[in-house]
Chains A and B, each alone.
Chain A
């Protein structure tokens, strides 16, 4: 099976711009979660989607948003970029079995640099 794929792998943007990142989960995985990884804050949960619904959201400002499509692919959007948004953004997918979420498998990430 193909793993979690994320596009693009690298992005350079300037302050004030917006950006959209894409994630394709492992086939059959219906839950997609997003994380931000920085040297200072480590890995922090952004949000999780299941069946096109956001089920949980981390402590991030409203500039961070996401969505999930009917094929389980997900996108996250960051508007009005700030320098502090420079990070590795990771997507993870998991099976949901009998209503319970299983192990999350991570993609390679999108490295976002804000200048």
Chain B
């Protein structure tokens, strides 16, 4: 069965520190990849996505992610975090061949940014 693994469950950073959140998936075929964010008290919002093309994708609020097919990874990065980035971050995978709406989510990473 396909699965998604997020290595860091809880990350604490100071403002202006750099961020990298790991995400690996287990599926050998074509996938669509997503990072979603859930701010406290708010609903899941799309940060960025990768369907095809340039493996380095840019999203909202200065976030970017790199798809490395050989490593089955889609790590999220931000060069300088802000207190407002405090949230829970989810990596998700959609298996292209299924052509259905099933997203497989990682367990999530809680990011706490200290002012």
Instruction: List residues of chain A with CB under 8 Å of any chain B CB.
Output: 31-33, 35, 42-45, 48, 50, 55-56, 58, 90, 92, 94, 99-101, 103-109
Q: How far apart are B113's CB and chain A's nearest CB, in angstroms?
A: 22
Nearest 7 interchain pairs by C-beta: A48-B101, A33-B101, A56-B100, A43-B105, A106-B44, A108-B43, A55-B100
Given A43-B92, A50-B101, A90-B43, 5 additional A-B pairs, CB 8 A: A42-B105, A48-B100, A101-B100, A103-B49, A109-B43
The residues of A that contact B49 with a CB separation of less than 8 Å are: 103
Given A42-B107, A103-B49, A109-B43, decide whether A58 and B101 contact each other with a Cβ distance below 8 A: no
Interface size class of B (residues with CB under 8 A): 20 to 34
B46 at the interface (CB under 8 A from A): yes
B103 at the interface (CB under 8 A from A): yes
Instruction: List residues of chain B with CB under 8 Å of any chain A CB.
Output: 34, 36, 42-46, 49, 90, 92, 94, 98-108
Partner of A101, one of B34, B90, B94, B106: B94
B44 touches A45 (CB 8 A): no
Given A42-B107, A90-B44, A101-B94, decide whether A31 and B34 contact each other with a Cβ distance below 8 A: no
Secondary structure of the A side of the interface?
strand
Nearest residue (CB) in A for B36 is A106
Given A42-B108, A106-B36, decide whether A99 and B43 contact each other with a Cβ distance below 8 A: no
Q: How far apart are B39's CB and chain A's nearest CB, in angstroms?
A: 12
A103 touches B90 (CB 8 A): no
The residues of B that contact A105 with a CB separation of less than 8 Å are: 46
Partner of B102, one of A32, A56, A107, A109: A56
| Complex CA–CA separation, A109 to B43 (angstroms) | 7
B99 touches A101 (CB 8 A): yes
The residues of A that contact B34 with a CB separation of less than 8 Å are: 103-104
The residues of A that contact B43 with a CB separation of less than 8 Å are: 90, 106-109
